[in-house]
Amino acid sequence: MDVLIPTRNRAAELAVTLAGLAAQDGPIFRIVVSDQSDGPPAWVQAPVAAVLRVLEAQGTRVDLLRHLPRRGLAEHRQFLLEQASGEKMLFLDDDVWLEPGALGRMAHALNELRCGFVGMAPQGFSYLKDRRPEQTESFAAWDGSVAPERVRPDEPAFERWPLHSAANLSHLSVELGLEPGEWLAYKVAWLGGCTMFRRIALEDVGGFGFWTELPSEHCGEDVVAQWKVMEKYGGAGILPSGAVHLESPTTITDRRIEAFDVVLGDQGVKEKNNRQSKGTDMANPPDPIRIQKFLRGVDYPATKDSLLAHAKDAGAGSDVLDALNHIPEKEYDGPTAVSSAVSDG
């Protein structure tokens, strides 16, 4: 198995991520770290170097690579995919800590389910006291085998995306009464941060080769790859999630271009995004669904000002901020109310 970690400007976080891997008790794995930091690579920093020595002492092979110049998130993931040689590979973000046993649980689930990928959605433990039952209404376990399915923004399966906000899965695991060692596969819209693929499945759908269609500043490249795998092989989330999000500030500050709009959208959407990537203002307001991408993790009910502040912190462009600026001054009780206000505006 290969654990593939893209990183940039996150030495402290990477040290924690690697420490989580050092605590895994199997299966045997190799780590590939690809660094695109603006300055020296993360492994010259003492905390990262210390954990690398632990991994070396344990007999874990770690390949440290520099991959420059930066050509975008999708190209970086494609580069990592090309380094992989194992039957399974885990794409792990550089700000995710895995609890002991998480790697083995995912590998076992992938073997048993025989689908294209499984994953553990990273949980934000600062939200453990923040229960959001309205965001878990779409939860559905897989009954038996995992089946291929199509997910797009205009289809019901897309509405599962709030499941992975805050600490929703931690709360669900408690409510479901899962016993130690027990796991459950469930349906996802997509899975960010900690996704284990069957390598042949991801390569069969082209991996992240679509990077050539994208401007260097984009987001959602993992969504495109997962949707392609899901359509042919199926994919599932795993409960309980043994992945913890470190909740550091994002290093992806420009989220105006959604990869799925460009790669999977119709020609009109592609042309619109191409114009946007070249700096041309869009005449039409952004899709309410795209706006919701910048409002993940909002603590509802929320005021217009708090929505604007959250979107700005998430890297929203001027088009999204302008659309939110035109909604009525009132308190919004959830994402649906915000989307309706944007559409009415």
Could you report the per-residue pLDDT of 274-300, keeping only the tens digit for each? 444 444 333 455 666 678 878 877 888
pLDDT band of 266, cuts 50, 70, 90: low
CA distances 245 to 14, 114, 165, Å, are 12, 27, 11
Check residue 259 and give its pLDDT.
95
pLDDT band of 341, cuts 50, 70, 90: confident
Task: Assess contact for 36 and 79: CB atoms under 8 A.
Answer: no
Task: Assess contact for 74 and 211: CB atoms under 8 A.
Answer: yes
Q: What is the DSSP letter of 122?
A: P
pLDDT band of 91, cuts 50, 70, 90: very high
Tokens of 35: 């660094």
**Range with the lowest mean pLDDT among 223-227, 251-255, 263-267?**
263-267
Q: What is the pLDDT of residues 172-225, one digit of tens each?
A: 999 999 988 899 999 999 999 999 999 999 999 999 999 999 999 999 999 999
What's the predicted TM-score (pTM) here? 0.80
Q: What is the pLDDT of residues 93-103, one digit of tens each?
A: 999 999 999 99
Check residue 164 and give its pLDDT.
96
**Rg of the chain's alpha carbons, rounded to an integer?**
20
Element (H, E) at 184: strand 184-186
CA distances 15 to 40, 54, 119, 244, Å, are 15, 11, 21, 14
Share of the chain above pLDDT 90, in %: 73
Check residue 180 and give its pLDDT.
87
Average the pLDDT over 298-306 and give the result. 86
Does residue 335 register a pLDDT over 90? Answer: no
Share of the chain above pLDDT 70, in %: 92
Close Cβ partners of 10 (under 8 Å, ≥ 6 residues apart): 37, 42, 94, 95, 248, 251
Between CA 113 and CA 116 the distance in angstroms is 9
User: Mean pLDDT, the chain, as a whole number?
Assistant: 91
Q: What is the DSSP string of 243-260?
A: EEE--PPPS------BHH
Q: Is the dihedral of CA 112, 89, 146, 121 positive or negative?
A: positive
Does residue 2 register a pLDDT over 90? Answer: yes
Between CA 199 and CA 116 the distance in angstroms is 8
SS3 65: strand
Close Cβ partners of 238 (under 8 Å, ≥ 6 residues apart): 105, 106, 109, 118, 119, 120, 183, 184, 185, 186
Alpha helices in the chain (DSSP H): 11-22, 46-58, 73-83, 102-113, 168-176, 199-204, 221-233, 259-264, 267-277, 288-293, 304-313, 318-325, 335-344
| Domains parsed from the chain with CATH numbers | 2-245 (3.90.550.10), 282-344 (no CATH)
- Looking up tokens 């931690």 gives 170
Q: What is the pLDDT of residues 60-89, one digit of tens each?
A: 999 999 999 999 999 999 999 999 999 999
The β-bridge relationship of strands 117-119 and 235-239 is parallel
Check residue 58 and give its pLDDT.
98
Tokens of 14: 């990477």
